[in-house]
Every structure is written in C-alpha cells, then in structure tokens.
Structure 1
Amino acid sequence: MQAVENAVLAVKDIQNSSEAAFKKVFDRVSHKWEITVEMPRISSRQKNHDNTPATKPEEYYRRTLFIPFCDHFINHLEERFISHKQLLTSLACLGPAGNSPTSQEISHFLQPSGVLEE
C-alpha cells in the first residue's frame, strides 16, 4: 500500500510540474525519431478531436494527452489499491482491541486467496 501511495504522490508531482516533465519527454521523442511534431488543424465545429487552445505543438499535446493521462493513471491507482486500504482499516474494529493485525499479517492473509495482487 505504501508503494502505491508513493507512486500516486510521484505522478501527482509530475502532473504539478507538467511543463518541465512533458518537455523532457517531448524533446526526447522528437529527437530520437527525428520527427517534426505539428499541431492538428483547429476546426470551427468540434466533433472528433479537442480544440484545446495552444500556441505550440508541445503545449497542445501536454494539455490533450499528458495531463489527462496522469489524471486517469492516478484515479485507477486510487480505485484499485487505496480503496482496499480503507476497507481493511474499517475491518480492524472487528478484532479485539490492541490486537489489530499488522500490514504484513494482512498481506499474508490476502495473498493466497488472490484478493489483493500488487
């Protein structure tokens, strides 16, 4: 659970500094494959793609791809793993006081049944 929380925090940090993080990725990809990245044309009637306001291709792809992907990734990590943590802490009240299981005991209990897979 701690590793997932650390991953969520790392992705949130990347998302908060999205300009610098995406610039590194964008530059590396465009130089590696020696391609010129251009913005798609902006249409007056939005039907099949985002008309995100941007002045440069890097800015356009950061806004339409990178930031939504980070949001999507964070949401799925939180839904899949953090919700289990909340469930397990709510079940801790069922045991006797002072004898709450350690995280190691919980993971040992859950691993064989396949309920929690990291």
Structure 2
Amino acid sequence: MCFTTVHHYFGYFSGLSKKLQGSSIDIIQAYDLVENVKELVDQARNDESIYDKVFDRATQMGNSANLPSLQPPRQCSCQTQRSNVPSTCPKAYFKRALYLPFVDAMVTQILGPFASSQEPPSLTEESVDTILSYYRPDLPSPTTFHQELALWQQLWNR
C-alpha cells in the first residue's frame, strides 16, 4: 500500500493514540474521541478524491521504477484460491481488492477494542445478584450496590 494512504489514515490515529496514552482522559472522553476518529476515517474511506490520489501516486511510483502499468490479474468464473474481485478497470480492481480491505483492517485493529457496536450484555436481576454475591467481600459498601449500578447504567445510557 502506498505511503500516501498510510500517512493519511495514520494522521487521524496519531493524535488519538497520544490522548489515549495520557493520564488526563476519562473513559467517556476516550469513547467520544474514538467515535469522532472513526467517523472521520469512514468519511475519508468513502471519499473518491483520496483514493484517486493514492492510485495516482502508486502509478507514479511504479512508472518511476520502470514497472509495467498496473493491471488486475485475469479473472476466472470459478476462482477458489485468490480474490476474484469484479471490476471494469485497474483502478476499480485495486480499490476493491487492496485499498478498502487495507483501510478496514487498519480501523478494526486500532479501533476494535472501542467498537460502538459491541453492546454490553443486559443485566438481569439474577445476574446482578450473582455479581453482588461474588464481589460482596471486596465492595466497600455492598448495601448501595444496586444504587451504584443504577447510576452507572444511567451514565452509560447518556
């Protein structure tokens, strides 16, 4: 993958990484920051002008190294051992076969632990009682456990 692509996307992640490693950010701010970065990366991923620059730069790099022009591999109707991405031109092929999977993998690796689609498990009365009985000896005030839990649920729902 072209340096331009990596540089463009890692630019979003470098600031995020520094803030997440700091000691002054709380978990809610971290999730908000991660969500903002994810939205920006999604916008950039779907921006044709960015991919156009990446493809043009890769083509220029190939030309300067005296490589033949970029061509997708031949396609077969029954392909089992490699990607058989349908496309009408090299630019579309490389976008579908390399660029989009690369960006998606990068986002998954970096933002995966913060995935907003991961809903916390719903707490039933039985599971709450099980949690309370298990951690009761370690809790500073087990009598207020249900109220603390309600406060946390209210905070996370907001």
Q: TM-score range by the shorter chain?
A: 0.5 to 0.7
Question: Residues of 1 paired with 2:109 and 2:82: CA distance?
Answer: 24
What SS does the corresponding residue of 2:76 show, helix, strand or coil? coil
Residues 1:50 and 2:86 are matched in the alignment: no
| Bigger RCO (CA 8 Å, 6+ sep) | 1
Question: Residues of 2 paired with 1:64 and 1:42: CA distance?
Answer: 13
Residues 1:6 and 2:36 are matched in the alignment: yes
Paired residues, what number? Answer: 93
The residue type equivalent to 1:94 in the other structure is: E
Question: Residues of 1 paired with 2:104 and 2:61: CA distance?
Answer: 27
The match for 2:148 is 94
Sequence identity, in percent? 31
RMSD: 3.1
After superposition, where does 1:1-118 map in structure 2 within 5 Å? Answer: 1=30, 2-17=32-47, 19-34=48-63, 35=67, 36-82=69-115, 94=148
**Greater C-alpha radius of gyration:** 2
Please give the TM-score of this superposition, normalised by the length of structure 1.
Answer: 0.59
Compute the displacement of 1:52 (Å).
1.5
What SS does the corresponding residue of 2:49 show, helix, strand or coil? helix
Structure 1: which 5+ residue stretches go unaligned?
Answer: 88-92, 98-118
Question: Residues of 1 paired with 2:89 and 2:80: CA distance?
Answer: 22
Q: Is the 8 A contact 1:37 1:57 kept in 2?
A: yes
Segments ≥4 residues shifted beyond 4 Å: none
Structure 2: which 5+ residue stretches go unaligned?
Answer: 1-29, 121-146, 152-158
Compute the displacement of 1:72 (Å).
2.5
Change in 2 beyond 3 A, CA 1:5/1:47: same
